[in-house]
C-alpha cells in the first residue's frame, strides 16, 4: 500500500473532521510478556499511520490532534483496560487500537455510554502485510456483503453447520434480531468494529436468566472441532454451552480445566460470517475470521447478548484453515433455507443479489 493509498483508505474508513482528536493506542511488552517481531512491526506501522494522519491534517487544514499512547499490555484477550486508559479514550473522536491483545470488549462498552463521542477500530494482531490484503479491499463491496449478511441473520431462526471433519452443529438464532454488520465504516460517532473489517455476526439464543423461563432452553447443539497445532479437540455443545471437551492430548486437558474455572466461558457467544474477499488465511485471527465461518465462546453482552465473561474468543473455520466450515445454511422461521457458505467459501455471487 503506497502512502497515497493509505491516505485514501484512512479518509474512506474514518473520515476525520475539523478539530477532531485522534488516538492511536498501543499495548507494549512487560515482564512475562516478551516482545516479538510482529509486535515490533505493529508499533512501527502505528507510527506510519500517525504520520499519514498528519499528512491528511496538513493537506486538508483540519486542525486535528493526533496522539499515540502506549501502555503495558494486559496480557489477556477481551478482559479489561485500565481506568486511566478508558478515561483517555473518552476524550477522543477516533480511536485506533493497534494492539497485541484484543481489547474489543471494553472498547465496545465505551461506545454504549450515553455521552460517547468516539468511533473505534479495534485491530488486535494487525500486521503491515495486511495493507496488501484485507486492508486494501474494496470496502464498498465489503459494506454491501456485511449488511446483506446482517439482514439474513436477523431473519434466521437457526443455522446448520457442517465441518470438514463431518461434525455438525446447530446454532439457535430464535429471539435474536441483533445481528451486526462489521463493514469498515467508522465515520460517525458510535460506530465500532474490528479492522480490517468484513463480517456479519449475531449472538445465538442463550436462554440466559429469565429468557429460559419465558422461551425454554436454547436448541444450540452439536460438536465443534478445532485443531490446536496437530491436536484435535472436540467441543460437545448442548443448550448453547460447551458441556464437554473430547481429546487425549495436553490441549484438551488444558481446555477442560479452563472451562471448569469459569462456567461463563462455556457460552457460545457469536456466530460470525466473514465477507472480505481479500482476506488471507495465515493463522492471524484478525484477518482469518474475515474469510469465512467463525464461532466465539464467552462474553456476548458487548454486542447484544446476555452473558458476560472474562473472555471472548473466536475459533475460525474459513477456507484454508486446518478444519473448515464446509457448509453454513441459515433456516428461516417458515422453514426456507439459504446456504451462505458452500465448500467452505462465502457465496459472494449470492450476496451481490441482495
Taking CA 340 as the corner, what is the angle to CA 339 and CA 343, rounded to the nearest 5 degrees?
A: 85
The DSSP bridge pattern shows strands 21-28 and 192-194 to be unpaired
pLDDT in tens, 239-297: 999 999 999 999 999 999 999 999 999 999 999 999 999 999 999 999 999 999 999 99
How remote is the C-alpha of 343 from its chain's centroid?
22
State how far the Cα of 279 lies from the Cα of 286, in Å rounded to an integer. 10
State how far the Cα of 193 lies from the Cα of 210, in Å rounded to an integer. 29
Which alpha helices (DSSP H) does the chain contain, by range? Answer: 3-14, 37-60, 83-89, 104-111, 139-155, 210-215, 250-261, 285-288, 348-351
pLDDT in tens, 76-107: 998 899 999 999 999 999 999 999 999 999 99
For the beta sheet containing 293-298, the strands, ordered from the edge strand earlier in sequence to the opposite edge, are 180-182, 199-202, 268-274, 293-298, 312-316
Which residues, including other chains, have CB under 8 Å from residue 294's CB and lie 6 or more apart? 199, 270, 272, 274, 288, 314, 315, 316, 317, 318
Give the confidence band of 119 by pLDDT, cuts at 50, 70, 90: very high
State how far the Cα of 214 lies from the Cα of 201, in Å rounded to an integer. 24
pLDDT in tens, 168-201: 999 999 999 999 999 999 999 999 999 999 999 9
Domains in the chain, start-ordered, CATH in brackets? 3-132 (3.40.50), 137-351 (no CATH)
pLDDT in tens, 20-32: 999 999 999 999 9
Q: Are 237 and 267 in contact (CB under 8 A)?
A: no
| Paired residues of 168 in beta bridges | 162
Q: Are 286 and 125 in contact (CB under 8 A)?
A: yes
How remote is the C-alpha of 254 from its chain's centroid?
24
The predicted model scores a pTM of 0.91
What are the backbone angles phi and psi of residue 322, rounded to the nearest 5°?
Answer: -55, -40
> What is the gyration radius of the CA atoms in the chain, in angstroms?
20
Q: Which of helix, strand or coil describes residue 31?
A: coil
pLDDT of residue 45: 97
Amino acid at each position: 500500500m503506497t502512502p497515497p493509498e493509505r491516505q485514501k483508505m484512512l479518509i474512506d474508513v474514518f473520515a476525520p473532521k475539523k478539530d477532531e482528536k485522534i488516538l492511536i493506542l498501543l499495548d507494549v511488552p512487560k515482564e512475562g510478556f516478551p516482545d516479538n517481531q510482529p509486535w515490533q512491526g505493529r508499533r512501527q506501522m502505528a507510527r506510519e499511520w500517525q504520520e499519514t494522519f498528519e499528512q491528511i491534517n496538513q493537506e486538508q487544514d483540519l486542525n486535528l490532534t493526533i496522539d499515540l499512547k502506549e501502555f503495558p499490555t494486559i496480557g489477556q484477550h477481551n478482559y479489561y483496560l485500565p481506568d486511566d486508559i478508558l478515561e483517555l479514550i473518552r476524550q477522543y473522536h477516533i480511536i485506533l487500537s493497534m494492539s497485541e491483545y484484543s481489547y474489543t470488549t471494553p472498547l465496545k462498552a465505551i461506545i454504549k455510554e450515553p455521552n460517547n463521542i468516539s468511533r473505534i477500530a479495534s485491530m488486535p494482531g494487525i500486521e503491515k502485510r495486511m495493507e496488501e490484503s484485507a486492508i486494501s479491499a474494496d470496502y464498498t463491496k465489503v459494506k454491501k456483503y456485511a449488511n446483506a449478511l446482517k439482514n439474513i441473520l436477523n431473519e434466521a431462526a437457526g443455522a446448520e453447520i457442517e465441518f470438514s471433519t463431518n461434525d455438525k452443529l446447530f446454532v439457535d438464532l430464535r429471539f435474536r434480531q441483533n445481528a451486526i454488520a462489521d463493514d469498515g465504516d467508522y465515520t460517525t460517532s458510535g460506530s465500532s468494529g474490528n479492522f480490517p473489517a468484513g463480517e456479519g455476526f449475531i449472538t445465538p439464543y442463550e436462554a440466559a436468566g429469565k429468557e429460559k423461563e419465558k422461551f425454554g432452553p436454547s436448541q444450540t447443539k452439536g460438536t465443534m472441532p478445532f485443531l490446536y497445532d496437530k491436536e484435535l479437540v472436540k467441543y460437545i455443545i448442548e443448550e448453547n454451552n460447551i458441556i464437554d471437551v473430547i481429546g487425549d492430548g495436553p490441549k484438551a486437558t488444558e481446555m477442560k480445566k479452563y472451562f471448569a474455572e469459569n462456567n461463563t466461558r462455556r457460552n457460545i457467544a457469536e456466530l460470525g460470517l466473514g465477507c472480505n474477499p481479500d482476506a488471507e488465511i495465515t493463522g492471524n485471527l484478525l484477518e482469518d475470521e474475515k474469510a469465512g465461518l467463525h464461532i466465539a465462546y464467552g462474553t456476548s453482552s458487548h454486542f447484544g447478548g446476555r452473558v458476560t465473561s472474562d473472555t471472548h474468543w473466536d475459533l475460525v473455520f474459513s477456507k484454508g484453515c486446518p478444519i473448515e466450515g464446509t457448509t453454513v445454511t441459515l433456516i428461516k422461521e417458515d422453514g426456507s433455507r439459504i446456504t451462505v457458505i458452500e465448500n467452505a467459501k462465502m457465496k459472494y455471487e449470492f450476496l451481490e443479489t441482495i
